[in-house]
Amino acid sequence: KQLLIATSNRGKFCEFSELLSNQVTELFSLADFPQMILPPETGETFEENAIIKASYAARETGIPTIADDSGLEVNYLGGRPGVHSARFAGEAATDQENNKKLLYELANINHEERTARFSCCIAFCSPDGTCATFTGQLAGSIIEQPRGNNGFGYDPLFLVTGYNKTLAELDMSIKNRISHRAEAFRRFTNYLSRCNN
Ligand code: ITT
């Protein structure tokens, strides 16, 4: 079985490799197809964008593909940055710049009003264009100073509900049990095992 993980985000790719580590799958990444450029993410939902990425890559390569569209939804900000999480502070923004903008937008907002969630949608598409999607969420809140060095993106600012730690303070093995991406991935593997039986 072959599977392409269509993401140019290294943090996501590491998490998927770990999640897929005990599957008997020949894994491909976008590095195996350097000439391919994913289309712009013009969708308004995580699901639309995940399908845009996965269906394009599957059709171009002939390999069944998963793509992940994910982001942070902050209640006080009406769900922003949402689908714009990767580019919150601008087109080529770094994780640090995005985190800085988030702290700026939440300056002087008290702890109870800083609730947020991570959302993930994984699209699994075949070269013939058929797709299935799987979602996951993780509840938490945004702290005032970054904490921890693991993970990527907004992890250092995201205090996980029920843990006294940010996602960047948790080991990848724990993040990969509880995260939005892990939940969507579990639903994807359940689907695969139903299809194969
Ligand atoms: P690809 O489209 O190539 O997969 P991307 O980073 O552009 O990479 P998205 O458009 O889905 O992907 O944006 C997701 C952004 O949401 C990501 O860049 C982070 O800022 C944030 N994000 C998603 N999952 C996260 C996680 O587990 N931890 C921290 N931040 C996360």
Question: What's residue 72's pLDDT?
Answer: 98
Segment 60-74 mean pLDDT: 98
Q: Whose CA is nearest to atom 9 of ligand 1?
A: 69
In a 3-state reduction of DSSP, which class is residue 79? coil
Residue 131 phi, psi (nearest 5): -135, 150
* CB of 156 shorter than 6 A to ligand 1: no
Angle between helical axes of 10-19 and 180-196 (0-180°, round to 10): 40
- Say whether pLDDT at 24 is over 80: no
**73-110 core/surface letters (b: 16 or more CB in 10 A; e: else):** bbebbeebbbbebbebbeeebebeebbbebeeebeeee
On average, the pLDDT of the chain sits at 96
Q: Which pTM does this prediction carry?
A: 0.96
Distance 102 CA to ligand 1 centre (A): 15
**CA neighbours closer than 13 Å in the CB half-sphere of residue 7:** 23
pLDDT digits (tens, 9 = 90+) for 122-140: 999 999 999 999 999 999 9
Q: Whose CA is nearest to atom 31 of ligand 1?
A: 153
* CB of 166 shorter than 6 A to ligand 1: no
Question: What's residue 94's pLDDT?
Answer: 97
45: confidence class by pLDDT, cuts 50, 70, 90: very high
The helix or strand, by DSSP H or E, that contains position 22, with its residue range, turns out to be none
Query: Is the ipTM here above 0.95?
Result: yes
Q: Which domains does the chain have, with CATH numbers?
A: 2-196 (3.90.950.10)
